[in-house]
Amino acid sequence: MRRFPLPLSSALAVVNRTNPSIQNTVHMASLLVFWIFSAIWPQFFLFSKIINLPNWAVSWPFPVFIGIQVAFFSLAIIAMAVKNEDSLYKRILLSSLVMPISPVLIFLLRNLNEGGATEYLTGNLFGNYFFAFFICILPAIAVLALHEVLVFFKRVTKKVIQ
């Protein structure tokens, strides 16, 4: 019998049925990729009146919202790798709280290196954290809503088949 490579959905279905350590690995890998992206290009997650887009960003759809798109992809991968619905909500919400740390940390380090440690730095840190959290919570809500729609359609199709 000849075996064919599994498509992505089948591969993630295998992950769903395995032990939680693989789900934790997928979760941490997705967060790590997000943190690396946000450390290289923190301007997509921090508050600014002017955003300097890299050359590659111009070809993306809605380049100003690249931060939201990257957060959505990271959270969608986490959602596909989780089987338990309670665990899904916990992981997505916890990830949304932790994801803004990288761009805010880069903001802090840049301000300290440039001598920008003023009395407003603490307020700017909190403001940028909440702005980055807002950028990350919108995709989290979209991922959870998409999950609920998929669960609803699974229930409806099971009733129709029976």
Q: How high is the mean pLDDT of the chain?
A: 84
The whole-number average pLDDT for the span 120-142 is 91
Q: Residue 17's pLDDT is what?
A: 47
| pLDDT tops 60 at residue 16 | no
| pLDDT tops 80 at residue 148 | yes
pLDDT in tens, 35-55: 999 999 888 888 887 778 888
Decide: residue 112, CB within 10 A, 0-12 exposed, 13-18 middle, 19+ buried: exposed
| pLDDT tops 60 at residue 1 | no
pTM of the predicted model as reported, rounded to 2 decimal places = 0.79
- Are 70 and 139 contacting, i.e. CB atoms less than 8 angstroms apart? no
- Are 95 and 74 contacting, i.e. CB atoms less than 8 angstroms apart? yes
| pLDDT tops 70 at residue 15 | no
pLDDT in tens, 63-83: 888 999 999 999 999 988 887
Q: Residue 12's pLDDT is what?
A: 53
